[in-house]
C-alpha cells in the first residue's frame, strides 16, 4: 500500500470530460467485440491495427495500402460490411489472415472509444483475454488511470463495466485508490458477476445481440480470461495499435 492513485471509470466515451484524460493512462474496453478482436489480431501476427471511426474512412485507408498486406475488417450493428475482408469476430483473425499484415478496423463502439481515449498520454487495449497482462502494465505505471468503456450504441454495457471493475479490483490490491462513483459501480458489478463471467456476457444487451446474430462462439472467445499475455498499445503518427508489453507474472483473476 504505497502510493495513492486516482482510478476513474468512464462507463461510456461520452462520459469522459473534455480534456479529462490528459497526462493519464487510459485503458480502453470493448469486450464484445472490438478489444477482444484487437488482442486476437495482434496475437495472430498482425503488425498493427489502424482504428477508423467511419466505414468510408476505413475503405479509403485500406485502399492506399499495399495489396496483400492489408486486411479490412469491421462491422456495423454486429454484422460484417460489404466488400470487407473480415467482420469483427475474434475467431476470424487467424494467423493466415493476420500474419505480417496491417488490420484496418472500424466498429460501432470500440474503435470510437479508442479514438476518444487517444488524448491520454498512454493508451492500452484491454479485454478479458489479456486481463492479467493489462493489470501488470497498469500497476507498474504511475499515472492516473482512466478506464474507458465503449458501451453498446450509447448505452452502458454490463460486460465492459464488469472488466472495468475487475481492473479496479486488481489495482485496489496494489495501492490505495481514489475512485469515482462509476468505478465503485464497476467494482460492485465485478463482485457480483465476475464469478459467472460467460453468463454475464450472454445476458447483457451486446451479448443478446450477438446470440441473435449467431455469434455465440464469440461470447465464449471473449470470456477466455488470460488466453493471451500481450497488451496492445496505441502508437501515434500514424495512429495505430501495436503489441506493447508482453508477459504475465501471475494471474490476477480471482480463483
Binding site residues, a copy of itself, CB under 8 A = 11, 14-15, 17, 152, 154-158, 161, 180-182, 184-189, 191-193, 203-205
- Residue (195 or 235) nearer to a copy of itself, CB: 195
- Cβ closest to a copy of itself, residue 184 vs residue 220: 184
Closer to a copy of itself at the Cβ: 190 or 215? 190
Smaller CB separation from a copy of itself, 36 or 161:
161
C-beta of 54: minimal distance to a copy of itself in Å?
Answer: 23
Cis omega (within 30 of 0) for bond into 33: yes
Q: How far is the CB of 145 from a copy of itself (least distance, A)?
A: 16
Question: Phi and psi at residue 249, in whole multiples of 5°?
Answer: -80, -45
Whole-number Å distance between alpha carbons of 105 and 84 = 10
Residue tagged 452502458 (cell numbers): 156
Q: Is 188 helix (H, G, I), strand (E, B) or coil?
A: helix
C-alpha cell at 9: 471509470
Task: Supply the minimum distance, in Å, between the C-beta of residue 182 and a copy of itself.
Answer: 5
Whole-angstrom Cα distance, residue 163 to residue 77? Answer: 22
> Is 13 or 232 the residue whose CB approaches a copy of itself more closely?
13
Helix runs in the chain, H state only: 34-43, 55-63, 95-98, 110-117, 131-140, 158-174, 181-193, 197-203, 205-212, 216-222
Query: Which residue's CB is nearer to a copy of itself, number 187 or number 228?
Result: 187
* Cβ 211 to a copy of itself shortest distance, Å: 15
Shortest CB 169 distance to a copy of itself, Å = 12
Phi, psi for residue 148 in degrees, rounded to 5: -110, 110
| Residue among 108 and 137 whose Cβ is closer to a copy of itself | 108
- Grid cell for residue 58: 476505413
- In the complex, least distance from residue 109 CB atom to a copy of itself, rounded to whole angstroms: 13
Closest CB 118 distance from a copy of itself, rounded Å: 22
Q: Residue 195 CA to chain centroid, in angstroms?
A: 20
Distances (CA, A) of 231 to 149, 192, 247: 17, 26, 8
Amino acid at each position: 500500500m504505497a502510493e495513492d492513485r486516482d482510478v476513474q471509470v468512464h462507463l461510456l466515451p461520452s462520459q469522459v470530460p473534455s480534456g479529462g484524460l490528459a497526462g493519464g493512462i487510459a485503458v480502453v474496453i470493448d469486450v464484445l467485440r472490438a478489444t477482444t478482436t484487437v488482442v486476437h489480431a495482434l496475437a495472430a501476427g498482425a503488425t498493427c491495427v489502424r482504428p477508423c471511426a467511419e466505414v468510408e474512412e476505413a475503405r479509403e485507408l485500406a485502399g492506399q495500402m499495399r495489396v496483400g498486406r492489408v486486411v479490412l475488417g469491421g462491422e456495423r450493428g454486429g454484422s460484417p460490411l460489404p466488400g470487407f475482408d473480415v467482420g469483427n469476430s475474434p475467431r476470424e483473425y487467424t494467423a493466415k489472415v493476420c500474419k505480417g499484415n496491417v488490420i484496418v478496423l472500424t466498429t460501432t463502439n470500440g474503435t470510437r472509444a479508442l479514438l476518444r481515449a487517444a488524448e491520454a498520454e498512454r493508451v492500452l487495449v484491454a479485454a478479458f483475454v489479456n486481463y492479467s497482462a493489462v493489470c501488470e502494465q497498469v500497476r507498474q505505471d504511475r499515472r492516473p488511470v482512466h478506464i474507458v468503456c465503449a458501451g453498446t450504441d450509447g448505452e452502458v454495457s454490463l460486460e465492459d463495466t464488469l472488466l472495468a471493475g475487475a481492473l479496479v479490483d486488481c489495482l485496489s490490491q496494489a495501492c490505495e485508490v481514489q475512485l469515482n462513483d462509476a468505478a465503485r459501480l464497476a467494482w460492485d458489478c465485478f463482485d457480483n458477476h465476475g464469478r459467472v463471467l460467460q453468463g454475464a456476457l450472454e445476458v447483457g444487451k451486446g451479448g443478446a445481440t450477438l446470440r441473435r446474430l449467431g455469434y455465440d462462439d464469440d461470447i465464449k472467445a471473449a470470456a477466455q480470461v488470460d488466453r493471451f499475455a500481450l497488451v496492445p498499445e496505441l502508437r501515434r503518427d500514424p495512429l495505430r495499435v501495436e503489441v506493447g508489453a508482453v508477459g504475465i507474472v501471475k494471474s490476477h483473476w480471482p480463483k
